[in-house]
Amino acid sequence: MKYDVIVVGGRVSGSVSSLFASKNDVDVLMVEKQQEIGVPVQCAGGVSDSFFKTMDLKPLQEYYSRIEGATLHAPDGGQVSTRNKISHGYILERKLFDKNLAIQSAEAGTDIMLKTPVKDLIMENGQVKGVVVRHQGKLMEISADVVIAADGVESQVAKMAGLNTHFEPYDLCSCAQYEMVGLDIDPAMIEFYFGQKIAPGGYVWVFPKGNTRANVGIGIRNIPNGSNKNNGNTQNTGNNGNNGYDKSKNAHHYLQKFISKLGGTPVEFNVGAVPVSGPVEKTYTDGLLVVGDAAGQVDPLTGGGIHVSASCAKIAGTIAAEAVKKEDSSAKFLKKYEDIWNKKKKIGHNLKRSLKYRRMFDKLDDQEISDLIKVVQGQELESVSKLTLLKMTKEYPQLFKLLRNIL
Amino acid sequence: MKYKSELCGYCGACVSVCPVNILELNDWRLEIQPLCENCGRCIIVCPVGALEEADHEI
């Protein structure tokens, strides 16, 4: 069997890559190891308005709920709300959204194989020439000019081609989430809760999905030796930070604690891991591109990845098709993908800036987070000028250093 | 490393941090090759506590 382009993974990055490759008139196969696209859900489903503009997609009523603001809750109970346009967006029903993207890709001409994990790559003279999959109990070789690895945080495909897509524990946010019904919430506002006792190294989110329903989830991060050093350092330190780690205090533990005071009842449970150390060093090699979570294309501050991954996947699919037409799938040509997403579109720059903010945020203790939120409390966030913030830091001098770095 | 399948949520966090690539998640099961170096990375990132250190009594 032979295709022009093979996309490994059928979630957002996979479907968007294959959609844009197919739109450019090449033969595309997407392989998904699960038997159903979009399951299990590993995401809270939040996207901003700009996502649909970038992707030229229309949000369908069946799979979203509208968000018009956000509330941040400080460790000391203080809170601040904003209805700024930046906070406007949607909470997606990921199962339906993912499947709809796959359907759009299939309608554009993509062939899809389900329940088909990739076991190996076909390599010739150091160039990726296709994949070896297990399909209906048999190993099968499928050749391709370009392989796109969109196989998520647990990606093995890019590693098989020699790219370094390994993550260390402190590169990941471990997440757990209940979709719950019967909550006392404002269905137009997303909420975030911060604090070492609530969500160490991360936050709790409440993402409304209509009426009394919401995704209530948590992401936590283990920071080596209990300090805030080495965050986002992707070097293997030899010490994995396991010393004194209490596995009973996992994401699910903190989530149970949080929801115990909410009331409501769960109708779905999800777990996941989000890479929050910025993009991997290199996202292309001879005959292969890597996109999405597998490439670390996630905003390190918020952990949001749908819009970043989809933007990069659109570029990957387009460049893969161009490589096929020009009969050049060398690393030299495919580098164009990275040049566009990293430099031309400035996605790389934005992710790095976000990583810088996250590292600053990591250094704040509960008191400092509470103070920061107190400074802007009672005001609409967009009305807070830089000057006001600087004046207010007189009252909270410890914030000065943080703000100086941001402003 | 010991695996409690009844707690597993199939997220792949463990797979992504395994330095020796012995973990594989397919459909609704985690497959583990017998070459674990007991580094403990997977235990740290598991959101549900489905992984534990292996017993050392022998």
Among A3-12, A29-38, A369-378, which stretch is predicted with the lowest mean pLDDT?
A369-378
What's the pLDDT at A194?
95
Q: Which residue of B has its CA nearest to A168?
A: B17
- Asked if residues A317 and A21 have their Cβ atoms less than 8 Å apart, the reply is yes
pLDDT on residue B35: 87
CATH number for B11: 3.30.70.20
pLDDT of B16 higher than 60: yes
Residue B57 belongs to a domain: no
Domain with CATH 3.50.50.60 in chain A: 2-40+92-167+280-347
Torsional sign, CA A88, A91, A94, A97: negative
Using a 10 angstrom Cβ sphere, with 0-12 exposed, 13-18 middle and 19 or more buried, the burial of residue B38 is exposed
Give which of A237, A250, A277, A290 to mutate to test B binding, by max B Cβ within 10 Å.
A250
CA separation for the pair A23, A18 (Å, rounded):
8
The answer to whether the CB atoms of A271 and B9 lie below 8 A apart is: yes
Q: How many domains does chain B have?
A: 1
Q: How many Cα atoms are found within 13 Å in the side-chain-facing hemisphere of A68?
A: 4
| B32 lies in some domain | yes
| Model pLDDT, residue A224 | 60
Give a yes or no: residue B19 inside a domain. Answer: yes
The residue with tokens 């329903």 is: A213
Cα diameter, chain B: 34
How would you class A349 by CB atoms within 10 Å of its CB: exposed for 0-12, middle for 13-18, buried for 19 or more? Answer: exposed
Q: Where is pLDDT greater, at A297 or A364?
A: A297
Asked whether the beta carbons of A1 and A143 are under 8 A apart, the reply is yes
What confidence tens digit (pLDDT) does each residue in A206-233 have? Answer: 999 999 999 999 999 986 644 433 333 3
Distance from CA of B34 to the nearest CA of A (A): 18
Domain of residue B6 covers 2-52
Put simply, the answer to whether A273 touches B51 (Cβ < 8 Å) is no
pLDDT tens column, A328-358: 999 999 999 999 999 988 999 999 999 998 9
Q: Supply the pLDDT for residue A62.
A: 67
Neighbours of A159 (CB within 10 A): 17
- For residue A208, the cross-strand partners are A214
Place of tokens 């990941």: A172
- Which ipTM value was assigned to this complex? 0.93
- Per the document, the length of chain A is 407
Interstrand relation of A189-193 and A69-73 (parallel, antiparallel or unpaired): parallel
| pLDDT tens sequence across A384-399 | 666 666 666 666 665 6
Q: What gap in Å lies between CA A141 and CA A127, rounded to an integer? A: 15
What was the pLDDT predicted at A238? 40
In CATH terms, the superfamily for domain A2-40+92-167+280-347 is FAD/NAD(P)-binding domain (3.50.50.60)
CA distances from A225 to A52, A217, A239, A253 (A): 41, 25, 9, 20
pLDDT digits (tens, 9 = 90+) for A51-80: 888 777 776 766 788 999 999 999 999 998
For residue B58, being part of any structural domain is answered with no
Residues of B in contact with A253 (CB under 8 A): 49
